[in-house]
Amino acid sequence: MFQNITLVIPLLPLLAFAIIVLFTRNNNRTSALVAILGILASMAISYGVFTEALSEGHELAQHPFYGAPIVWAPFGNSTIEFGWFIDPIGAVMLFMVPTVCLMIFIYSVGYMRHTHVDEHGHHHSQDDPRYARFFAYISLFASMMLLVVVSSNLLEFFIGWEVMGFCSYALIGFWSFRGRQERHIDEAQVGRARAASIKAFLTTRVGDILLMSGMILLFITAGTLDFTKMFDPTTLNEMLLGESPLLGWTWPTLIALLIFGGTIGKSAQFPLHVWLPDAMEGPTPVSALIHAATMVSAGIFLVIRMFPLFVFASATGGQAMEVVAIVGAFTAIFAATMGLAQNDIKRVLAYSTISQLGYMLAALGIGAFVAGSFHLITHAFFKALLFLAAGSVLHAVGTNDMFKMGGLWRKMPITFITFLIGALSLMGIPPFAGFWSKDEILLEALREGFFHEGVPLTLVQFVYICLAAAAFLTALYTGRQIFLTFFGKPRDEHAYAHAHESPAWMWAPLAVLAVFTTFLGLWNTPFLPEFFRFVGEGGLLGLAEAFAHTEFDVLAQVSMVASVGIGLSGFLTAWAIYGFRPVAAGQPDPLARLGILWRALVNKYWLDELYGYKINLDGTAQPGLLIRFFGALSRAAYWFDRTIVDGLVNLGGWIGRALASLWGAFDTYVVDGIVNATGSTTGEMAGWWRKIQTGNVQNYALIAAAGAMAVAILFLLRSFT
């Protein structure tokens, strides 16, 4: 029953957005209630579809819920239709997205109410001046992510994808202007938010252009963008016909890599990762939405949805899967190193997100579809928990700087416990959800890279080494975050004095997310692999074979012990550096002894200075060398156009005008002069001859006689001579 109204799922938050914008925008509480009711109703229908999907079991993979009742655009013999497509992983996404979004929406009710202290020391609370607008934006954001999940074709998917890009721009830059009465932000925050929103929008557009190019080529070669038709073996084989414009590349490989370009931008993978850390300038609920339920999850879900194309590209001699694995594995360890050197509590989590997304892509690249998909789901819950708990901290102390915190576990016990649960899950410590998903990825890489029969698979070995090293660094920077924030003595007495536990609107969602983070991983344990049975046993549409089940053998047990050991060793290292002797007020970071390496990490390897857009704490921003180079190239091209090209055009115009003037003078004074002189002479002669035309016959006879006499006289004179 519910599957037939699947399209209503994204429409309900969209309706909430419209109601807030048109009717309730002047009433903050009503706007918040409308947004919450919209996502709650959407969640109810999503749960209905999810329940029906579970009843179908793994058969849903080959016979998904599908409907395309709206004929959207005809193209010759084919049409693009608007509808829904729900397979097992899509059904699980319908469970995850509205659940996480609802928790964030409820949390936002309290978070978007700011407290300030006046000159007399009195506390005052007031709603953000753009409170209703915020709830309108996040409703639209959630609606478009749900549209991405249920889309029946890639063009419908792309619409939700692009509107999410606008929502991220609007919400990252939510505080990019400041009213006279706003005390919770300053001009530096305004400048950073404005620059960060532009940086995010333009960086992700690079990936979107690649994605759109891949979609165009896919439609040209396959003749369809519909998921049920696109992954038909006959359609996939037709893509092999014709020569690719790139020598040695098949069409499936080229198209798959272009589509993957969209994921690199949206999911902030190297080298387009530079926008995500600066996106922390938006309100913390926005950070949670972007990092957990929407924006970056959409990039991973794109690869999951298009996974049959990537597999087909590799099966026909392409390197699409290998590229996905390399980019993911490198990004995982690359981002983890930068997370070590961040003092902003939210930026540490931002680099953590980039790293964990790399885990998911590395898993998908080596063919561990179920492990990568499960990590996407578990990560959404524990990363939302971490961001909201971090927001609870900064909402209480008024700063993002961990070196101005310390000892907060006494003041904020609920926030501390929930943050610790999320952190342990991120570090991969059992029994929390992150352990079960991350360990399975490491096991798949270990098995395929080091214990695969035949020639050693050096690529998968590289993937495992990168992911294992990233797991250690993840535990290290997460432990550093815990000890700097919650333990030791307060390093800012003023901030500590004003710290307090968050209101129920904020800690209640933390508690719910903590429960999911604790128990969700049990859905895919070696003893109860229900997630695998649902998502993996049926394979995928276009891939008739089921995915391989991960055996809980001796190697799996060794891998489990190793992954836990890696996580614990990273956490113990963090304790030895930051917990055993807590950092005191004014003391530099102990890792600063690393010298040039530390400066490289603090400056994010100077990539913003190289090709990005560096945003300073004071709100100023400077483009990197590559942007400045292209800016200089553009200015040089502008000068060449205005000076040389326009000069030559203007010279040609001046010569044309000069020749036209000369021809005009010649025409006026010579041609017209001759014509006018001829006319004037003729006129004068006509005037003279007109005088003898009297109309009197006698005059004419007299003239004729005189003429005859003159002729006679001339004749006689000639005779005499």
Please give, one letter per residue, the 3-state secondary structure of 686-708: HHHHHCCCCCCHHHHHHHHHHHH
Q: Which residues contact 426 (CB under 8 A, 6 or more apart)?
A: 352, 356, 382, 383, 386, 434, 474, 478
Q: What is the pLDDT of residues 122-135, one digit of tens each?
A: 566 788 899 999 99
Q: What is the pLDDT of residues 628-673, one digit of tens each?
A: 998 899 999 999 999 999 999 999 999 999 999 999 888 888 888 8
The set of long-range contacts for 155-161, using a CB threshold of 8 Å and a minimum separation of 24, is 155/72, 155/80, 155/215, 155/225, 156/72, 156/82, 156/83, 157/302, 157/305, 158/211, 158/212, 158/215, 160/10, 160/298, 161/208, 161/211, 161/262, 161/266, 161/298, 161/302
Q: Which residues contact 639 (CB under 8 A, 6 or more apart)?
A: none
Q: What is the pLDDT of residues 278-296, one digit of tens each?
A: 999 999 999 999 999 889 9
Cβ atoms 265, 205 nearer than 8 A: yes
Cβ atoms 614, 626 nearer than 8 A: no
Examine the pLDDT at 606 and tell me if it is beyond 90. Answer: yes
- At 119 the pLDDT is 59
Q: How confident is the model at residue 703 (pLDDT cuts 50, 70, 90)?
A: confident
C-alpha 329/C-alpha 331 separation (Å) is: 5
Q: Residue 272 has what DSSP assignment?
A: S
Examine the pLDDT at 681 and tell me if it is beyond 90. Answer: no
Q: How confident is the model at residue 455 (pLDDT cuts 50, 70, 90)?
A: very low
- At 465 the pLDDT is 95
Examine the pLDDT at 683 and tell me if it is beyond 90. Answer: no
**pLDDT, greater one: 245 or 679:** 679
- At 123 the pLDDT is 61
Which three-class secondary structure state does DSSP give residue 115?
strand
DSSP H helical segments within 267-306, as ranges? 275-278, 284-288, 295-305
Q: Residue 588 has what DSSP assignment?
A: P
* Amino acid, single-letter form, for residue 567: G
| Number of CB atoms found within 10 A of residue 151's CB | 26
Examine the pLDDT at 530 and tell me if it is beyond 90. Answer: yes
- At 116 the pLDDT is 61
Examine the pLDDT at 478 and tell me if it is beyond 60. Answer: yes
Q: What is the mean pLDDT of residues 67-81?
A: 82
C-alpha 407/C-alpha 397 separation (Å) is: 12
pTM for the model stands at: 0.90
C-alpha 254/C-alpha 271 separation (Å) is: 19
Examine the pLDDT at 587 and tell me if it is beyond 50. Answer: yes
Q: What is the pLDDT of residues 375-427, one digit of tens each?
A: 999 999 999 999 999 999 998 898 899 999 999 999 999 999 999 999 999 99
C-alpha 94/C-alpha 88 separation (Å) is: 10
| Number of CB atoms found within 10 A of residue 405's CB | 27
Q: What is the mean pLDDT of residues 168-179?
A: 92
Q: How confident is the model at residue 680 (pLDDT cuts 50, 70, 90)?
A: confident
C-alpha 271/C-alpha 170 separation (Å) is: 23
- At 59 the pLDDT is 92
- At 685 the pLDDT is 79
Q: What is the pLDDT of residues 21-49, one digit of tens each?
A: 999 999 999 999 999 999 999 999 999 99
- At 274 the pLDDT is 95
